[in-house]
Amino acid sequence: MLSKQMEASLNEQIALEGYASFLYLSMASWCEKKTLTGCSSFMFRQSEEERQHMLRIFHYINDMGDHALTPAIPQPKYDWASIQELFNEVYAHEQMVSESIDRLVAQSYDEKDHKTLAFLQWYVEEQREEETLMRTILDRINLIGDGPQSLYYIDKEISAINKKQIAQETAQGGE
């Protein structure tokens, strides 16, 4: 069993992961509306990935004999001034999620909750990968610039990144 504090903290993380899923879904819709098909496919996949992160915690809480709660998800933002703004927001959100995971890890240490600490190690590595990926995307967007054809090349680059990520996930067994 989890401490009541850990159960509450993990349920808060469920809400954060659920919000990320909805935020990325909203971003996918914005990209699709702008006919940025590479970016929309990437964001749809990111949305599903965040939903899976949420469910992983959900099942962990229940497996530990406690009660995972279905969160109320606030309406995410749905409009961005540019693709650059959108991906800057994604990066900032991933950094916020990383900070939240770090707080959970610290709480696990403080409570000497070794099971939860072991469970959270997957998230620590996942967040490192997510932040690296988003920094790479922002670096490429900055390299491409904001000239008249930049959206075409940004969309093409994000599409290539998405295909590479899918291939890696498939090779690893669909993580």
Residue 78 has pLDDT above 90, yes or no: yes
Q: Is residue 32 packed enough to be buried (19+ CB in 10 Å), middle (13-18) or exposed (0-12)?
A: middle
Q: Among 18-27, 124-133, 142-151, which is the least confidently predicted range?
A: 142-151
Residue 139 has pLDDT above 60, yes or no: yes
How far apart are alpha carbons 88 and 105 in whole angstroms?
26
pLDDT of 169 reads 86
* Structural domains of the chain ordered from first start: 4-171 (1.20.1260.10)
Q: What percent of the chain has pLDDT over 70?
A: 99
* Mean residue pLDDT across the chain: 96
How far apart are alpha carbons 54 and 64 in whole angstroms?
16
The amino acid present at 24, given as its one-letter code, is Y
Place of tokens 């997957």: 122
Mean pLDDT computed over 82-101: 98
Of 46 and 148, more confident: 46
